[in-house]
Amino acid sequence: MAKERIGFIGVGLMGHGMAKNIVEKGHPLTVLGHRKRDAVDDLLGRGATEADSLADLARRSDIVVLCVTGSPQVEAVLTGPGGLATAERPGGAPLMVIDCSTSEPAVTRRLAAALAPQGITLIDAPLSRTPKDAWEGTLDVMVGGDDEALARATPVLSCFAGRVVPTGPVGTGHTMKLLNNFLSMGYAALYSEALMIGAKSGLTPAVFDSVIAGGRMDCGFYQTFRRYVIERDPEAHRFTLDNALKDVTYLAGFAQALGVANPVGAAVRNAFAQPVAAGHGQDYVPTLSDRIAEANGTSLTANRSGSV
């Protein structure tokens, strides 16, 4: 049985590795041009083809995977001028769209309902883990959609995922992603504040790490975070402060729509809003530790070998 033709939009930090795995596992792949021309050229060298417009991509694809920034970009790609929903497909063939972005659940549900009468199935399949996992095909994917849609999407998702976790109806994948990122960005804010207090009192990051690493407060997120703090690896966690702020802002709006109190979320959001407002939005998440230390008149890199 021939594999479905896959279109891919958003071959950035995560999308490049995801698309690479799709084409290497035998799916005909068409990509849309991206500002990271090196990623597009790499994929073309692996057997992908390139579309010259959204409509062209839609005509060449049975399933389109989106890996863009958030809901505004998803809406533009789907229903904006020249978007996927406007494309004339041969024989009116049904199209599936898998949104792997971190989007607002309410927008995802609204788009899914609006597109269904046009024969377009939209499901949400946001991601967890890192660009390294995307390249290795070991991402975690949270999927919102009905059983039929999930069955159709799973062979594609399995190209780049180590785990595919159904979460319920459309929109629940994005809900779970917001909760996942709330926890991870909450860890980043907590680690950063704790490191700052330690440094301010003469306790070095190395001593902090010697207690946390391997203890009950360790986790996979801490392990990437510490690679920046302790080893000063600038590529340890390639997720920008801008994107972190976007995600926790989405969570704030979601909590407000539910009518629930979200005081910890507000504190986490403010921790990211301050460095973004100061012009550091394109820096990666672990640098939050430096910004919080600086704001309190200390440094995590001074006297690195000392202790209390």
pLDDT in tens, 56-94: 999 999 999 999 999 999 999 999 999 999 888 776 678
Judge if 6-170 and 175-295 fold alike in CATH terms.
Answer: no
- pLDDT tens per residue, range 169-213: 999 999 999 999 999 999 999 999 999 999 999 999 999 999 999
136-150: string of b/e by CB count within 10 Å (b at 16+)?
ebbbebbbbbeeebb
User: Pick the catalytic residue: 20, 132, 177, 200?
Assistant: 177
Q: How far apart are the first and last CA of the chain?
A: 66
Give helix 220-229 / helix 205-212 axis angle, nearest 10°: 160
Q: What pTM was estimated for this model as a whole?
A: 0.91
Domain boundaries of the chain, sorted by first residue: 6-170, 175-295
Q: What are the tens digits of pLDDT across the range 239-290? A: 999 999 999 999 999 999 999 999 999 999 999 999 999 999 999 999 999 9
Q: Which residues contact 292 (CB under 8 A, 6 or more apart)?
A: 192, 193, 195, 196, 271
20 included as an active-site residue: no
CATH ID of 175-295, from 1.10.3720.10, 3.90.420.10, 1.10.1040.10, 1.20.120.1630: 1.10.1040.10
Q: What is the DSSP code string of 240-282?
A: BHHHHHHHHHHHHHHHHHHT---HHHHHHHHHHHHHIIIIITT
Q: Which CATH number fits domain 6-170: 3.40.605.10, 3.10.20.310, 3.40.50.720, 2.30.110.10?
A: 3.40.50.720
Nearest 10 degrees: Cα torsion 183, 184, 190, 193 = -140
